Amino acid sequence: MLETGITGTAEETVTEEKTAWKVGSGELLVYATPCMMALIEKAAWRSVEDQLESGQGTVGTLLNVQHEAPTPVGMKVTAKTVLKEVDGRRLVFDVEVRDEKGVIGEGTHERFIISNDRFTAKAEKRKEG
């Protein structure tokens, strides 16, 4: 049973490949918002993965995060998540992202616990006419 308070972290160094220019979300060589969102999701799913039953996983369904400051190439970025609500299969996390100088993003992230096999089958079924 998942309980609130579980924390997760994930970090990466901003490379040119993780800039807005390279991922197509803008024209500048600064940390891309889509990369920040992926880092948040990584911290969240990894924080609860060992608490799930065999064959279960989580999928992200909502990100409500402000990207508040730019981070240049070469700086390290760390995402921290704290599980603040468990409502059946729905998980809600508080999130904070920092670079070496301070907070660059914060907000909330929602995930749902799923059966990996059923979810994959549902996705594959979407290919059918």
Average confidence (pLDDT) over 5-23: 98
Domain boundaries, the chain: 7-125
**Residue-level pLDDT at 31:** 98
What sign for the dihedral angle of Cα 50, 113, 117, 129? negative
Q: What local confidence, expressed as pLDDT, does residue 95 receive?
A: 98
Q: Which residues pair with 82 in a beta bridge?
A: 7, 94
pLDDT score for 54: 97
- Residue 1 banded pLDDT, cuts 50, 70, 90: confident
For 75-112, what is each residue's pLDDT tens digit? 999 999 999 999 999 999 999 999 999 999 999 999 99
Angle at 27 between CA 22 and CA 32, to 5 degrees: 55
What is the CATH T-level fold of the domain 7-125, as seen in this structure?
A: Thiol Ester Dehydrase; Chain A (3.10.129)
How confident is the prediction for the chain on average, in pLDDT? 97
Decide if pLDDT at 6 tops 80: yes
